[in-house]
């Protein structure tokens, strides 16, 4: 997912997301597929003041994106929800990385100079594990690694965090939907507690989202993009969220989305991303979205 910076003052983040509220909300909440709200203990929904802030690729303004350091940076700032990107290595391991290539966020060019264009799927997990995924961001992150999905899930569990997982470019990795679900199951992320309030799987690929829902209908899913009304009706059969670029939506479009109910009988939710620079959290809330991926 592309990113731009939504500047939310520290006090605003503290107001939106507090560890105490999230802890109590996780322990309570009778609704099977309820999102916890992040301000006053009420549940998030259209027209409410509570808008979830999801740490995009972890707290990627403070640590190298999609690393365990970024997960921990989000945790320190009270950000309970974390978004990441999952791809597959040449030897079939699931790794957490955004770009189609390793060049931008690792030292692959230096370590493997003869293997341009350094596509993720052309490297084994052991080769990817050799790479420095932190120095490009700052010297103090030197030696940070590209995590496997398994390691990422362990860290989230340790921190008590929640996951908005994006399956990246599934057309490049046939069968990745089933593989992701197997990994989630093995790591305990398909139990009732995680499925109820700690996990959403999303993708730009509609067939991918549909496949995830077919294989694990209890898992909440999201489609990235801003589909038209006819598609929205069809997608509501297997998606719980429609997550568009912020600039692509209108009040009329939001109203159309919120009138529809997803496969679990709840109104479709909207989490926006690529929010324009200097946009305030209040103005985003006023539009009636349930979440901001920042």
Query: Is 264 a known active-site residue?
Result: no
Residue tagged active-site, from 75, 98, 194, 213:
98
Q: What does the pLDDT read at residue 2?
A: 54
Mean pLDDT over residues 199-225, rounded?
A: 98
Name, of 39-43, 140-144, 284-288, the range with top average pLDDT. Answer: 140-144
What does the pLDDT average to over 233-260? 96
Hey, what domains does the chain have and what are their CATH numbers? 10-32+42-99+147-293 (3.20.20.190)
Mean pLDDT (whole number) for 197-203: 97
Catalytic residue among 56, 75, 194, 258: 56
Beta carbons within 8 Å of 4's beta carbon, 6+ residues apart? 274, 275, 276, 277
Q: Is 98 a catalytic residue?
A: yes
Pick 294 or 75 by higher pLDDT: 75
Q: Please state whether beta strands 162-167 and 220-224 pair in parallel, antiparallel, or not at all (unpaired).
A: unpaired
> Among residues 253, 75, 38, which one has the least CA distance to residue 29?
38
Indicate if the alpha-carbon torsion angle 23, 25, 29, 32 is positive or negative: negative
Q: What is the mean pLDDT of the chain?
A: 85
């Amino acid at each position: 997912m592309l990113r731009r910076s939504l500047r939310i003052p520290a006090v605003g983040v503290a107001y939106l997301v507090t560890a105490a509220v999230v802890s109590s909300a996780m322990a309570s909440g009778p609704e099977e597929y309820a999102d916890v709200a992040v301000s006053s203990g009420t549940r998030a929904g259209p027209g409410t003041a509570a808008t979830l802030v999801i740490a995009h690729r972890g707290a990627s303004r403070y640590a190298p994106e999609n690393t365990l350091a970024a997960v921990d940076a989000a945790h320190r700032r009270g950000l309970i929800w974390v978004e990441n990107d999952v791809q597959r290595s040449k030897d079939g391991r699931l790794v957490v990385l955004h770009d189609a290539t390793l060049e931008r966020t690792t030292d692959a060019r230096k370590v493997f100079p003869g293997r341009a264009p350094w596509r993720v799927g052309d490297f084994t997990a052991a080769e990817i594990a050799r790479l420095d995924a932190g120095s490009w961001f700052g010297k103090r992150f030197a030696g940070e690694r590209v995590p496997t999905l398994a390691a990422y899930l362990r860290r989230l569990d340790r921190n008590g965090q929640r996951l908005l997982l994006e399956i990246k470019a599934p057309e490049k990795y046939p069968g990745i939907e089933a593989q992701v679900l197997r990994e989630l199951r093995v790591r305990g992320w398909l139990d009732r507690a995680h499925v109820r309030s700690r996990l959403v799987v999303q993708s730009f690929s509609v067939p991918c989202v549909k496949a995830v829902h077919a294989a694990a209908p209890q898992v909440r899913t999201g489609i990235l993009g801003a589909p038209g009304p006819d598609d929205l009706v069809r997608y509501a059969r297997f998606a719980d969220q429609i997550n568009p670029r912020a600039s692509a939506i209108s009040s009329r479009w939001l109203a159309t989305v919120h009138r529809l109910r997803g496969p679990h009988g709840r109104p479709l939710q909207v989490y926006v991303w690529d929010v324009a620079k200097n946009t305030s959290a209040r103005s985003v809330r006023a539009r009636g979205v349930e979440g901001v991926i920042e």
